[in-house]
C-alpha cells in the first residue's frame, strides 16, 4: 500500500495544475463530491438509500468486534422502511460468498483472511476458492480439519482449468500441507505426487510461473513428511529429482522455491530427527551428483549463470552430504575457482565458508579432508590489493582452522603457522580494511584455537618439539611485523602481540623476551606514534608473565647511580603500576623495596647538596616505585610466606612517611579485599592487626600537622575499617576498652576525643554485647553534651550499633531497648542541629524493631520528626522523611487494619496543623510524603478531609504554608483518580483563585504548572469558568503553549519517522501469482532472499568484470605461473577515489542541512511528565535530591563535613567587574592590523582569508538581502585587494 501523502508513479501527470500564484483565484470547475454531499444533506435521495438494516447490523458487529471480516453484497440490501419479512430476508442474505472465509475456524488460513480487502484479482481468487471449499466441507458435515481441506483442495486442483484458479488452489495447498498429519501424506503420496508432477510438467514451459512455484513448495512438503522406508522406492527419488531439476530454472522465483524445497527435504525431513536417524539423507549422494554434473556441464562459459545457481545451492547443502560426496564437491569447487571468474570464485568461497561455519560431524567432514581443503585454498590466495576477495579468503580460512581445531587439535596446530605467515603478508595490503580483518583473524585464532590448549604445553622454549614448535613459528611470524616494512600497520601488529601475550605469555615467555626488548627499543624511537599501543602490549605481558620476567628481559636501568638523569625506561613504572597483578609479593620486597630506599637516600643527598631539581626527580622515582605496591597486593601468590617480611616495613612507612601513607594504606585495603581469598591468608594478615591497628590509631589521633591532610586521615580510617573485618573480636574489644578509657581521661584534648570517637564508630559493629554495654555507658553523657561535635559523634556510635547486622549488636539493642528509648526521649530537647542526622537514623533503626506496646514512644517522636523535615542539613531532612515513612509502616504493623492504623497515625500528624507557622508548613510537607507513600491504605473519606484542610490552608498569609499546600495539590493531581478529583476541583480552584496578589505574584510559576495540570485533566473551559478573570490571560497563554508543544512534538515524531529506514514503495504488480502473493514457506526467509538477490544483482553489475594486474615494470605477465590467479583482481587497480565526506546532519527536502544548536533545549511535556513538573515538590518531601547543590549529602559517616575544594568556583561572566579577564582572542585575531583596517600577512604563517560563519538565522528570508549585501561587500573587498596587490607586483617588477 502506498504511503500517505505520496502519489503513485505516473499519477502526477493526470492532475490538473494551476499556474504559479493562481491556485486560489477561483474554485475548480468540477465539484462532484461537493454536489453529492449537498444532495445528501439538503434533500432526500431519489433512489433507494444504501443505509439498510443489514448495513447497520454489519456496522454494529464491526464496532463490537464480534465480526472480524465480513461484507454483504449490495444486491441483498433492503431499505429500512421494509417490514419484518424484509428483515428476515436481509438476515438470510448475510451468508454471502465470503462467509466461508470470514468465519473459517482453521487457523492455517489466518493469513488469507487479510486478502479480502485487497483489490488484486489473484487475492480475490484465493479468497473465493477458500470460501467455496469451506462451504463444501460444511455442507458435508465436516469439522474443517487440515485433512478435510487437503482432500477438498486436491479434488479442486484436478478440476480447475484457469491459471488463476490453479495458482490460488496451489497456494492454499501449500499452506495446509504443512499441518496435515504425516500418516495421511505417506498414504496419499502416490496420488498427490502424481497430480503435482502432472501440473509441474504442464506448467514448466509456460509463461506464468505462479502455480509452478507453489506446486514445487507442495512437493517439498510432501517429500519432507515421508518416512525413511519410502526413500527406498524409485518413485520417491523420481519425484525428488523432478523437484531438483528446477534448481537451475531460469525464472528466479521458481528456482528459489525449488532450492528452498530441496534444502528443507535434505535438512528437515522428519525421520532425520528421530531416534534411528541416519547420518545423512538417502537423497544426498544423488543431489551432490546432480550439482557436480551441472557445474561440469556449464563448464567455463562466460556468464556461468548455471554454475552460480548450483553454487548457491551447494552453499546450503554441503554440510548435509557424506564425506565421500563432500570431497567430490570440494574438488569440483576448487576446479571451478581456477576459471578466475570473480563471481564464481566468490560463491565457491562462500560455499566453503558455510561448510566450515556449520561445524559438521566427522562423518561429513573428517579432519583429514578439512586439512586438505585448507592446503588447497592456499593456491587461491587473492592479491593483497584485492579488497573483498582477500577479506573473504581470510574469514574462510579462519573458520576452517577453528573447525579443524574442534576435530583434531594437533592437526590444526600444524597448519596454523602457514596461515599466520599468510595473514602477516596481508598486513602489507594498501587497504586498511584488509589489515583489520587479518588482525582480527589472528586474534580469533589465538583465542579459540590456541588459548584452550596452551596450558597443556608447560614452559615453551625455542628448541621445544611439536606442538610447541608450531607456537614458536606463529610467534616469529607475528614478531616479524615489528620490522620497518610493516610500519604502516604497526598499530594492528601491536594489538595482535597484545593478544599473543595475554593467551600464551605465561607459558611462552622464554621465546617472547626478544620481542619485549624490540618493543621497548621501538618505543624509544623518535616521533614513534604508537606509544599507547606499546604500553598496552607490554602491560598484557606484565599481567600474563609477571613483572619478574619482564624486568629480566627489559631491565629498568634505574639503580640510583646514574651519571645522567635520562632514565630511558622510566615509562615502565606506570605500566607496571597499571597492569601488575597475581605477582609474588616477595619480589616487591626483594627488588623494589631496596630500589626505593636507594632512590630516597639519593634524593636526600641531592637535597642536602642544594640540588633541588635532581632531588625532586629521585623523590618522584621512589614514589613511583612505591605506587607499585597496590598492584602487587592484588591477588598475590605468596601471602602466607611473604607478608610477614613486608609487614614491618609497611608499618614504619605509615608512621614515619606521611608522603607514602595513602599508598601503603591503599595497598593494605587491596590486600584485605582482593588478596586474602582463603581463611589461612585472612588469618595470616589478621595476625598483624595488633601491630597495624595501634599505628593507624595513633596516626589518626594526631593533629593534621602530624597526621597529614584530611584526605590522608580518611584513607587511614578506611584502612582501619578494612582491617577490622579480619581482626579477632576479642582484640577489637580490647582496643574498644582502651579507647573508652581515653575518652574519659581528662588529659585527652578535644581533637583527640573526636578522633577516638571516629575510631569507636568503626570498631563498635565488631564488639561483643558486654563491650557494647560498657561503651554505651561511656557515651551516654555525650548524648546531652553541649559540645555539638561530641554529641554528633556519640549519636554516630549509637547509629552504627543499631544498624549493624551482627548478632552481638542485635542482642544489645533488644536487651537495652527500653533504656535506649528513655535516653533518646530525654535527649530530645538538648539535641543539636548537627546531631539530628545520626539521631534520626538511629531512631529509624530502633522503630524498625518496635512492637505494638511501644506505640507511645513513636507518638512522642512525631513532633520532632515533623520539625526535622525543614532542617538545614540535607541528610537530616532525608532521614526525617525516611523515619516518618517507617513510623507509618510501624503503625500498619501494629494493626488492626492498615486503614485504621493510618487514620490513627494521621490524627497524630494533624495536631501539627494547630501549631506555629513553621510547624504548620512542616506538617503539610509530612502529610504530602505520607499521602505519596500510603495512598493505597487511606480511605476515601480521609483523602477528602485531607484535601479540604489543605485548601483551607491556601488562605494563609505565610508563604511557607502556601508553598507546602501548593506542593500537596501537585502530588494530589499526580496520584488521585480524575473521577474522585472531579468532586473537589471546584473547591481547589476557588482556593487557588482566592490567593492574595502577593502570593499569586510570588508563586506564579508554581501556579502555572498547577493550572497546566488542571487543564490537561479537566479541560480549558472548565478551569477557565472556575477561576477569576485575572487568571484568564495566564490560562490562554498556557493553552497556546500546550498547542505549540504538541505541534513541535508531532513535528519531531514525523522527523524521527522520516529518519528511519523506509520500506520501498509498492511497485506495479503484474498478473503473475508470485508478484502478488509475496509469500513462501517462511516469510522471513523470503524477504532475506529478495534482499540477497538485489545485492547479488548489484554485485553482478559492479563486480561482473575482472582486471588483470600487469607485471612490474617491463616484466611480462606469465600465465604459466602457479600464482597467476593472484593477478586476477575483482577490485580495479589504480589510485582509490576519494569518497564524499559523510556527515551526521539531517537534510531537509530542499537540500538544506538541519543543524541543531547544543544550547537549544527541546521541551517535551509529555516525555518529562511528573519527573520535571514535580521535581521541586518531590525534593521538598525528600523523594528527590537537588540537581545542583553546593554540598552533596553522602551516605558515608565520615563524609559529613564539607571538604575543602568541594564548593563550586566562581566563573566570570557578564560585563563590568564581572567580565572575563582571560578571554581567548577571536579566531583570526592574530592577523588583525594594529594601525589600519583589515588583515595583514604574517611571515611564516598562512595567508588570512575572509569567511561568513554558518548561522541558522541566515536562513530567514527577511534577512536574505542583508546576506547578499555581505557577500557582495566581501567579494568587492577581495577584488580591491587583488587589484592593489597586482599593481604593487607590477610596480615592483618594473623597478
CB atoms inside a 10 Å sphere around CB 514: 13
CA–CA–CA angle 1256, 1257, 1262 (5° rounding): 140
DSSP state of 448: I
Alpha-carbon distance 754 to 782, whole Å?
11
Report whether 1045 contacts 1164 (CB < 8 A): yes
The pLDDT-based confidence of 1136 (bands split at 50, 70, 90) is very low
Distances, alpha carbon 1119 to alpha carbons 40, 58, 914, 1110, in Å: 86, 79, 106, 11
Question: Ranked by mean pLDDT, which of 272-281, 548-557, 975-984 comes out on top?
Answer: 548-557
Lowest-pLDDT range of 313-322, 566-575, 1237-1246: 1237-1246
Buried b (16+ CB within 10 A) or exposed e, 516-552: beebbebbeeeeeebeebbbbbbbbbbbbbbbebbbe
Peptide bond into 980 cis (omega under 30): no
Residue 314 CA to residue 601 CA, distance in Å, equals: 76
Distance in angstroms (rounded) separating the CA atoms of residues 256 and 1085: 11
Higher pLDDT, 990 or 78: 990
Residue appearing with cell numbers 567580565: 1219
Asked whether the bond before 896 is cis by omega within 30 degrees of 0, the reply is: yes
Q: Name the residue with higher pLDDT: 793 or 94.
A: 793
Mean pLDDT (whole number) for 276-295: 89
Residues 237 and 1059: their CA atoms lie apart, in Å, by: 52
| Bridge partners, residue 1108, by sequence | 1128
CA-CA distance, 633 to 44, in Å (whole number)? 97
Cell 551482627 belongs to residue: 806
Contacts of 268 (CB under 8 A, 6+ apart): 224
Residues 6 or more apart in contact with residue 420 via CB below 8 angstroms: 442, 445, 473, 474, 477, 478
CA 406 to each of CA 351, 371, 411, 450: distance values in angstroms, whole numbers, following the listed order: 20, 12, 10, 11
1026-1047: pLDDT as tens digits: 888 888 999 999 999 999 999 9
Share of the chain above pLDDT 90, in %: 26
What does the pLDDT average to over 388-412?
92
**How far is residue 498's CA from residue 1009's CA, in Å, rounded to a whole number?**
58
Pairwise pLDDT comparison (1057 vs 367), residue with the higher score? 367
Encode pLDDT of 828-866 as tens digits: 777 888 888 888 888 888 888 888 888 888 888 888 889
Looking at the predicted structure, is the pLDDT value of residue 236 above 50? yes
The β-bridge partners of 379 are none
What value does the mean pLDDT of the chain take? 79
Closest to 971 measured CA to CA, from 938, 925, 907: 925
Band of pLDDT at residue 127, cut at 50, 70 and 90:
confident
Question: Cell triple for residue 756?
Answer: 577516638
* pLDDT beyond 70 at 733: yes
Rounded alpha-carbon distances, angstroms, from residue 983 to 88, 924, 978, 1013: 49, 22, 9, 16
Backbone φ and ψ for 1108, nearest 5 degrees, come out as -100, 130
pLDDT band at residue 813 under the 50/70/90 scheme:
confident
pLDDT at 137 over 70: yes
Q: How far apart are CA 1154 and CA 168, in angstroms?
A: 50
pLDDT of residue 454: 86
Which residue's entry shows cell 448495513?
A: 55
C-alpha distances (whole Å) from 1017 to each of 279, 296, 426, 978, 1043 are 69, 77, 68, 7, 15
Contact call for residues 853 and 820 (beta carbons, < 8 A): no
- The pLDDT of residue 1269 is 72
Cα–Cα separations (whole angstroms), residue 898 to 860, 895, 905, 936, 938? 21, 6, 10, 9, 8
Query: Contacts by 175-178 with C-beta closer than 8 Å and gap 24+?
Result: 175/108, 175/109, 175/111, 175/112, 176/108, 176/109, 176/146, 176/149, 176/150, 177/150, 177/218, 177/221, 177/222, 178/108, 178/221, 178/1081
Can you give the pTM of this predicted structure? Answer: 0.68
Tell me the C-alpha distance between 175 and 180, whole Å.
10
- Contact yes or no for 364/320 (Cβ under 8 A): yes
Residue tagged 570440494 (cell numbers): 330
Angle at 725 (CA atoms; ends 724, 728), nearest 5 degrees = 70
Helices and strands of the chain, counted as H and E runs: 59, 4
Asked if 370 and 327 touch (Cβ cutoff 8 Å), the reply is: no
- Give percent helix, percent strand, percent coil of the chain, each to the nearest 5: 70, 0, 30
- The Cα 989–Cα 51 span in angstroms is 48
1147 sits in which H/E element: strand 1146-1147
Q: What band does 563 get if pLDDT is binned at 50, 70 and 90?
A: confident
At 1182-1203, the pLDDT tens digits run 666 554 443 433 333 333 333 3
Question: Of 441-445, 940-944, 1232-1236, which range is least confident?
Answer: 1232-1236
Which of 208-212, 388-392, 660-664, 1003-1007 is predicted least confidently?
Answer: 208-212
Q: Provide DSSP, 1163-1201.
A: --HHHHHHHHHTHHHHHHTTSS--SS-SS---SSGGG-S
Pairwise CA distance, residues 926 & 881, whole Å: 7
pLDDT at 1182: 67
Q: Which three cell numbers stand for residue 1194?
A: 553522602
CA nearest neighbour of 92 among 53, 120, 135: 53
Kindly report, residue by residue over 884-907, the tens digit of the pLDDT: 999 999 988 887 888 888 888 888
Reading the block at residue 646, the C-alpha cell is 613486608
- Rounded to whole angstroms, how far apart are CA atoms 303 and 285? 27
pLDDT at 73: 36
pLDDT reading at 1167 higher than 50: no
Residue 654: what pLDDT?
92
CB 411 within 8 A of CB 455: no
Cell of 1175: 521535581
Q: Using the 8-state DSSP alphabet, how is residue 1155 labeled?
A: -
Cell numbers for 290, please give them.
Answer: 546432480
Of residues 898, 899, 867, the one with CA closest to residue 880: 867
Can you give the pLDDT at residue 1132?
59
Amino acid 1125: pLDDT: 55
Pairing of strands 1146-1147, 1153-1154: antiparallel
User: What is the signed CA dihedral for 774, 776, 777, 780, rounded to 10 degrees?
Assistant: 160
Checking if the pLDDT of 1069 tops 50, the result is no
pLDDT of res. 850: 83
Query: Mean pLDDT throughout 770-797?
Result: 86
Angle between helices 898-910 and 940-953 (to 10 degrees): 20
Of the pLDDT bands very low, low, confident and very high (cuts 50, 70, 90), residue 793 is: confident
Cell digits for 989?
480552584
Model confidence at 1225: pLDDT above 70: no
356 pLDDT above the threshold of 60:
yes
Distance of CA 239 to the CA centre of its chain: 51
- Distance, in Å, from the CA atom of 1047 to the CA atom of 1051, rounded to the nearest integer, reads 6
What are the start-end ranges of the H helices in 702-728?
704-707, 710-724
Helices of type H across 702-806: 704-707, 710-724, 729-744, 750-763, 769-779, 788-803
Residue 1141 has what pLDDT?
Answer: 44
Amino acid at each position: 500500500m502506498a504511503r500517505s501523502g505520496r502519489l503513485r508513479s505516473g499519477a502526477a501527470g493526470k492532475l490538473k495544475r494551476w499556474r504559479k500564484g493562481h491556485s486560489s483565484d477561483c474554485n475548480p470547475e468540477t465539484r462532484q463530491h461537493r454536489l453529492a454531499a449537498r444532495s445528501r444533506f439538503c434533500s432526500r435521495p431519489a433512489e433507494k438509500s444504501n443505509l439498510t438494516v443489514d448495513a447497520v447490523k454489519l456496522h454494529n458487529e464491526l464496532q463490537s468486534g464480534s465480526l472480524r471480516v465480513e461484507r454483504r453484497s449490495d444486491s441483498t440490501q433492503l431499505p429500512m422502511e421494509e417490514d419484518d419479512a424484509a428483515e428476515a430476508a436481509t438476515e438470510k442474505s448475510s451468508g454471502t460468498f465470503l462467509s466461508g472465509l470470514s468465519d473459517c475456524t482453521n487457523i492455517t488460513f489466518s493469513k488469507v483472511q487479510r486478502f479480502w480487502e485487497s483489490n488484486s484479482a489473484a487475492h480475490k481468487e484465493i479468497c473465493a476458492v477458500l470460501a467455496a471449499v469451506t462451504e463444501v466441507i460444511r455442507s458435508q458435515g465436516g469439522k474443517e480439519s487440515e485433512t478435510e481441506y487437503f482432500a477438498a483442495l486436491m479434488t479442486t486442483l484436478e478440476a480447475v482449468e484457469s491459471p488463476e484458479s490453479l495458482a490460488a488452489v496451489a497456494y492454499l495447498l501449500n499452506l495446509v500441507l504443512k499441518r496435515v498429519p504425516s500418516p495421511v501424506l505417506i498414504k496419499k503420496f502416490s496420488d498427490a505426487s502424481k497430480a503435482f508432477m502432472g501440473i509441474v510438467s504442464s506448467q514448466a514451459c509456460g509463461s506464468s510461473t505462479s502455480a509452478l512455484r507453489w506446486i514445487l513448495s507442495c512437493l517439498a512438503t510432501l517429500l519432507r513428511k515421508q518416512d525413511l522406508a519410502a526413500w527406498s522406492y524409485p518413485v520417491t527419488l523420481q519425484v525428488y529429482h523432478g523437484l531438483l531439476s528446477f534448481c537451475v530454472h531460469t525464472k528466479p522465483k521458481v528456482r528459489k522455491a525449488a532450492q528452498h524445497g530441496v534444502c528443507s527435504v535434505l535438512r528437515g525431513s522428519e525421520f532425520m530427527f528421530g531416534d534411528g536417524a541416519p547420518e545423512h539423507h538417502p537423497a544426498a549422494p544423488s543431489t551432490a551428483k546432480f550439482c557436480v554434473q551441472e557445474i561440469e556441464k556449464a563448464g567455463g562459459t562466460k556468464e556461468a549463470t548455471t554454475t552460480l545457481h548450483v553454487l548457491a545451492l551447494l552453499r546450503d547443502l554441503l554440510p548435509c552430504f557424506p564425506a565421500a560426496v563432500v570431497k567430490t564437491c570440494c574438488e569440483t569447487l576448487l576446479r571451478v575457482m581456477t576459471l578466475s571468474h570473480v563471481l564464481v570464485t566468490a560463491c565457491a568461497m562462500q560455499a566453503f565458508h558455510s561448510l566450515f561455519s556449520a561445524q559438521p560431524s566427522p562423518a561429513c567432514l573428517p579432519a583429514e579432508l578439512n586439512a586438505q581443503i585448507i592446503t588447497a585454498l592456499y593456491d587461491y590466495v587473492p592479491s593483497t590489493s584485492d579488497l573483498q576477495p582477500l577479506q573473504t579468503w581470510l574469514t574462510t580460512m579462519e573458520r576452517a582452522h577453528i573447525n579443524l581445531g574442534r576435530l583434531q587439535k594437533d592437526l590444526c596446530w600444524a597448519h596454523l603457522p602457514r596461515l599466520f605467515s599468510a595473514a602477516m603478508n596481508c598486513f602489507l595490503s594498501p587497504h586498511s580494511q584488509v589489515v583489520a580483518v587479518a588482525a582480527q583473524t589472528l586474534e580469533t585464532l589465538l583465542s579459540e584455537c590456541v588459548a584452550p590448549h596452551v596450558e597443556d604445553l608447560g614452559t615453551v622454549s625455542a628448541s621445544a618439539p611439536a606442538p610447541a614448535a608450531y607456537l614458536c613459528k606463529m610467534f616469529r611470524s607475528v614478531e616479524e611485523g615489528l620490522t620497518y616494512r610493516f610500519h604502516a600497520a604497526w598499530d594492528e601488529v601491536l594489538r595482535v602481540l597484545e593478544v599473543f601475550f595475554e593467551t600464551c605469555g605465561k607459558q611462552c615467555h622464554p621465546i617472547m623476551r626478544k620481542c619485549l626488548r624490540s618493543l621497548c627499543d621501538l618505543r624509544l624511537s623518535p616521533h614513534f606514534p604508537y606509544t599507547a599501543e606499546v604500553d598496552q602490549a607490554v602491560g598484557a605481558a606484565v599481567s600474563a608473565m609477571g613483572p619478574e620476567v619482564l624486568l629480566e628481559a627489559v631491565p629498568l636501568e634505574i639503580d640510583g647511580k646514574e651519571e645522567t638523569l635520562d632514565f630511558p625506561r622510566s615509562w615502565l613504572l606506570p605500566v607496571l603500576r597499571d597492569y601488575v597483578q597475581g605477582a609474588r609479593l616477595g619480589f616487591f620486597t626483594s627488588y623494589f623495596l631496596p630500589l626505593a630506599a636507594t632512590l630516597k637516600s639519593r634524593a636526600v643527598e641531592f637535597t642536602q647538596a642544594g640540588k633541588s631539581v635532581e632531588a625532586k626527580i629521585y623523590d618522584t622515582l621512589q614514589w613511583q616505585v612505591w605506587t607499585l605496591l597496590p598492584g602487587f597486593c592484588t591477588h598475590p601468590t605468596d601471602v602466607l610466606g611473604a607478608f610477614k617480611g613486608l609487614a614491618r616495613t609497611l608499618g614504619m612507612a605509615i608512621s614515619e612517611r606521611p608522603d607514602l601513607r595513602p599508598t601503603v594504606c591503599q595497598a593494605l585495603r587491596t590486600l584485605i579485599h582482593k588478596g586474602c581469598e582463603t581463611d589461612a591468608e585472612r588469618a595470616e594478615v589478621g595476625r598483624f592487626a595488633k601491630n597495624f591497628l595501634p599505628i593507624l590509631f595513633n596516626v589518626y589521633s594526631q593533629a593534621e600537622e602530624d597526621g597529614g591532610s584530611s584526605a590522608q586521615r580518611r584513607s587511614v580510617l578506611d584502612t582501619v575499617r578494612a582491617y577490622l573485618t579480619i581482626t579477632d573480636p576479642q582484640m577489637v574489644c580490647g582496643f574498644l576498652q582502651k579507647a573508652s578509657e581515653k575518652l574519659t581521661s581528662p588529659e585527652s584534648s578535644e581533637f583527640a576525643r573526636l578522633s577516638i570517637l571516629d575510631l569507636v564508630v568503626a570498631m563498635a559493629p565488631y564488639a561483643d554485647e558486654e563491650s557494647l554495654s560498657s561503651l554505651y555507658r561511656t557515651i551516654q553523657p555525650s548524648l546531652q553534651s553541649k559540645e555539638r561535635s561530641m554529641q554528633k559523634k556519640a549519636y554516630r556510635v549509637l547509629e552504627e550499633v543499631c544498624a549493624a547486622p551482627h548478632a552481638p549488636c542485635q542482642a544489645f539493642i533488644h536487651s537495652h531497648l527500653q533504656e535506649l528509648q528513655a535516653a533518646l526521649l530525654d535527649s530530645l530537647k538538648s539535641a543539636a542541629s548537627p546531631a539530628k542526622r545520626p539521631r534520626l537514623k538511629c531512631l529509624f533503626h530502633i522503630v524498625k524493631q518496635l512492637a505494638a506496646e511501644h506505640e507511645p514512644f513513636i507518638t512522642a517522636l512525631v513532633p520532632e520528626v515533623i520539625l526535622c523535615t525543614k532542617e538545614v542539613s540535607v541528610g537530616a531532612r532525608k532521614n526525617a522523611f525516611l523515619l516518618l515513612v517507617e513510623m507509618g509502616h510501624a503503625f500498619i504493623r501494629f494493626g488492626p487494619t492498615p486503614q485504621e492504623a493510618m487514620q490513627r497515625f494521621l490524627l497524630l500528624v494533624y495536631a501539627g496543623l494547630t501549631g506555629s507557622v513553621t510547624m504548620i508548613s512542616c506538617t503539610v510537607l509530612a502529610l504530602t510524603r505520607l499521602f505519596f507513600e500510603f495512598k493505597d491504605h487511606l480511605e476515601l473519606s480521609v483523602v477528602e478531609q485531607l484535601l479540604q484542610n489543605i485548601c483551607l490552608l491556601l488562605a494563609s498569609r505565610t508563604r511557607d504554608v502556601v508553598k507546602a499546600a501548593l506542593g500537596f495539590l501537585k502530588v494530589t493531581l499526580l496520584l488521585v483518580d480524575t473521577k474522585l478529583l472531579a468532586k473537589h476541583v471546584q473547591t481547589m480552584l476557588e482556593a487557588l483563585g482566592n490567593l492574595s496578589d502577593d502570593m499569586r505574584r510570588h508563586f506564579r510559576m508554581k501556579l502555572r504548572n498547577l493550572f497546566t495540570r488542571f487543564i490537561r485533566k479537566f479541560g480549558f473551559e472548565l478551569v477557565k469558568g472556575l477561576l477569576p478573570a485575572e487568571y484568564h490571560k495566564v490560562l490562554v497563554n498556557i493553552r497556546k503553549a500546550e498547542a505549540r508543544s504538541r505541534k513541535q512534538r508531532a513535528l519531531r515524531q514525523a522527523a524521527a519517522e522520516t529518519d528511519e529506514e523506509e520500506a520501498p514503495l509498492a511497485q506495479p504488480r503484474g498478473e503473475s501469482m508470485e508478484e502478488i502473493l509475496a509469500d513462501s514457506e517462511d516469510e522471513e526467509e523470503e524477504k532475506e532472499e529478495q534482499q540477497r538477490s538485489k545485492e547479488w544483482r548489484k554485485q553482478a553489475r559492479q563486480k561482473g568484470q575482472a582486471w588483470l594486474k600487469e607485471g612490474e615494470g617491463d616484466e611480462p605477465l606469465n600465465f604459466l605461473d602457479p600464482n597467476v590467479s593472484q593477478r586476477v583482481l575483482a577490485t580495479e587497480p589504480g589510485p582509490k577515489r576519494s569518497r564524499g565526506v559523510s556527515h551526521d546532519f539531517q537534510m531537509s527536502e530542499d537540500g538544506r542541512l538541519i543543524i541543531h544548536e547544543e544550547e537549544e533545549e527541546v521541551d517535551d511535556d509529555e516525555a518529562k511528565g511528573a519527573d520535571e513538573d514535580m521535581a521541586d515538590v518531590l525534593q521538598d518531601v525528600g523523594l528527590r535530591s537537588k540537581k545542583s547543590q553546593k554540598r552533596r549529602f553522602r551516605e558515608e559517616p565520615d563524609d559529613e563535613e564539607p571538604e575543602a575544594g568541594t564548593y563550586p568556583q566562581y566563573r566570570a561572566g557578564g560585563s563590568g567587574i564581572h567580565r572575563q579577564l582571560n578571554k581567548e582572542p577571536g579566531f583570526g585575531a592574530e592577523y588583525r592590523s594594529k594601525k589600519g583596517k583589515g588583515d595583514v600577512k604574517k611571515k611564516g604563517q598562512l595567508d588570512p582569508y575572509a569567511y561568513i560563519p554558518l548561522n541558522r538565522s541566515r536562513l530567514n528570508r527577511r534577512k536574505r538581502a542583508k546576506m547578499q549585501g555581505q557577500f557582495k561587500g566581501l567579494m568587492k573587498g577581495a577584488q580591491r585587494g587583488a587589484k592593489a596587490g597586482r599593481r604593487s607586483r607590477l610596480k615592483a617588477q618594473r623597478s
